[in-house]
Chain A
């Protein structure tokens, strides 16, 4: 991937980065015509939001829900355990 990311399904609201990126770098998701600036330093293998994900909205990867956001996530923000939780296996709830 020349562009350094992978969009697995066109319905996803995140992409996975294929190299380490620094805050301020531009990412152009050419498949969807979406462009944004990275708001965090994000490591290889981690996810970045490509659209606004509202608080409580499903995070979509592989075209399927991988859990819910716990706060509003802006395009270009790192999507991980600080803002996304599992909906499954929640014995704590």
Chain B
């Protein structure tokens, strides 16, 4: 029960997928990156709208995120696609990745004579990797090598009653086996942070966590409006969530009951095994991208109202506690936890099913978002474009 079959990387990390990553450094390189990825088997593009007009910590956070995504264990090799004049220094990402991993290359559009030349060069590089890529075989791996990202999106009250507690049960199990689990979405800690702070292993971590929550609440307050204009979202409110505090208390359930051993910033890589808190926005796609850069190979994602979003290079397992969503958005849902909402099944019963699904997914079973081709991604910003 504590093993799965994954891809062993040269730096010792273990992937649950074997993607060839085409990493765009800036919005101007997105189209080239997408076209290169479309031409080669096994390749997937990571596109975003950042990469230029950024300064200070806003810029370094984007660079850290891009490098983290290239370092993700689900990646076999990374082709960086750069325009050539953007703020993000593509060479630095190249050198950073090449320190521990092979199959890292850079294509610069301005040095290839434009769109067509860059696409041709990128395609040539990826074709050169095809033989080795195809020879990658899954080998037995330990669940302690997994980093599981926790997420919720399109929440309603069933999320806090069923889907999140079931995910919490699985989180505790992964932690007890020595794996890493990341809880994120700082906005959705507002009103529940005292319960999280009490679970940290020392006062320094508690203070760091409380400071992240205060910073997020202060930045919302600086807009001079009620946070309820967006949190809970209009859909959350329709689903019965009245306040951010109520949403937060429900969100918290997905982190089970484990102690919090580390608190990290957006896209930072945790160093400890166990339950980790990452500072990210409540905006689900940005949060998933941050955890992906932090090394998460697989995600558990609860949804009450239903959402199709996925991730370019990691499987996202969708869990709903809403019986209507389980029916109406069946093609987007991997696990129906509504039996708990309706009192027909126990947390343990549904949780054991989710744990088995996690192992099977880690070993290669495709999720709904993978089957449907969902590859949404977005890197959060902390400053305006300049």
Contact = CB atoms under 8 A, between A and B. Distances in A.
Interface string A50-93: 00000000010110111100000000000111001111111110
Contacts of B223: 91
A45 B242 CA distance: 11
B341 to A, nearest CB: 6
Given A62-B160, A67-B246, A92-B224, A44 B324 contact: yes
Given A47-B240, A80-B237, 10 more contacts: A6-B161, A6-B341, A45-B157, A65-B191, A84-B243, A89-B220, A89-B226, A89-B227, A89-B228, A90-B226
Contacts of B226: 85-86, 89-92
Contacts of A80: 237, 240, 242
B244 A89 contact: yes
A90 B227 contact: yes
5 closest Cβ pairs, A-B complex: A89-B227, A45-B240, A91-B221, A66-B246, A1-B343
Nearest to A82: B242
Contacts of A79: 242
Contact of B239 (A45, A61, A85): A45
A61 B246 CA distance: 7
B227 A18 contact: no
B342 A18 contact: yes
B157 A16 contact: yes
B343 A91 contact: no
Interface in A26-45: 43-45
A53 to B, nearest CB: 12
Contacts of A88: 190-191, 217, 227, 243-245
Interface residues of A, number: 30
A67 B243 contact: yes
A91 B246 contact: no
B156 to A, nearest CB: 5
B246 A81 contact: no
Contacts of A86: 191, 226-228, 243-245
Interface string B197-236: 0000000000000000000010011111111100100000
A80 to B, nearest CB: 5
B158 interface: yes
A43 B195 CA distance: 30
Interface in B94-140: none
B245 A66 contact: yes
Interface string B152-171: 00001110110000000000
B161 A16 contact: yes
Q: Name the residue in A2, A44, A45 with the highest tally of chain B Cβ atoms < 10 Å from its Cβ.
A: A45
A90 B222 CA distance: 9
B55 interface: no
B322 interface: yes
A91 B160 contact: no
A45 to B, nearest CB: 4
A32 to B, nearest CB: 17
A46 B245 contact: no
| Residue from A62, A67, A85 with most neighbouring chain B CB atoms (10 Å) | A62
A79 B246 CA distance: 12
A90 B221 contact: yes
Nearest to B158: A45
Nearest to B249: A62
A79 to B, nearest CB: 7
Nearest to A83: B242
Contact of A81 (B157, B190, B237, B322): B237
B185 to A, nearest CB: 14
